[in-house]
Amino acid sequence: MADSKPLAGKTALVTGSSKGIGAATALALAAAGAHVVITGRDVGALEGVEDAIHEGGGTATIAPVDLSESDGIARLASALAGRWDTLDILVIAAAYLPSLGPVTQIDGKELGRAITVNLLATQALLASFDPMLKRAPAGRVVGLTSSVAAKPRAYWSAYAATKAGFENLLDSYAREVGSISNVRVAIVDPGATRTQMRARAYPGEDPRSVKEPAVVAERIVALLTGDFETGHRERLETSG
């Protein structure tokens, strides 16, 4: 039983779990035995993910939240702390992709939303759930990034800049908690994956040419059921 449900007894929070990699990760974590708190703005989509988890024999709690709302994360943390003393796993999968275009034509409102969702919300999540993660026997944080964070690409600057900041926050947090707690942090670049965000960025691409979100989810679960040094980084292959 322990081998089939390696995450039994653990509580996981997955942001952006109404679709794409976030939803696939929530399903995979639940299948591995974790109780998964699924968050996102689309309640109907979250209910669909919850139904799929239950059909697979897993358990989940829906916690709708808009990461762009100033008090959304604080309310989420308060609600979870009222039910659980610890948080074993935090997967930060939510992200916002602004319209692609040159630096000189970036839409200010879209950039502002990207900064809020991709950067400010990440800091708020780490700050709000740090106590629960530290109380867990082995708290784990996994953040999903993009190759453009480290390798700037023309027309991707609005998104890339926020993901570069995202990585910096996670790296810094990893160094701050690594020697004083059992919390470990990993940054995963999923590579090209069949998601709605990918379709927006590459409208002419054949979706069958890139891997499904479940492939990324399986790797995340494998990472969380094993052991890794804090500050761990990896990139998945394009196809799968």
Model confidence pLDDT, tens digit, residues 124-140? 999 999 999 999 999 99
Contacts of 69 (CB under 8 A, 6+ apart): none
Domain encompassing residue 40? 11-235
Residues recognised as catalytic: 159
What's the average model confidence in pLDDT over 177-203? Answer: 94
Q: Are 138 and 184 in contact (CB under 8 A)?
A: yes
Q: Are 162 and 146 in contact (CB under 8 A)?
A: no
Report yes or no on 2 lying in a domain. no
State the CATH number of the domain containing residue 169.
Answer: 3.40.50.720
pLDDT per residue as tens digits for the range 30-54: 999 999 999 999 999 999 999 999 9
Report yes or no on 184 lying in a domain. yes
Total number of domains constituting the chain: 1
State the pLDDT at residue 2.
55
Q: Report CA dihedral (67, 147, 24, 81) to the nearest 10 degrees.
A: -40
Largest distance between two CA atoms of the chain: 57
Report yes or no on 62 lying in a domain. yes
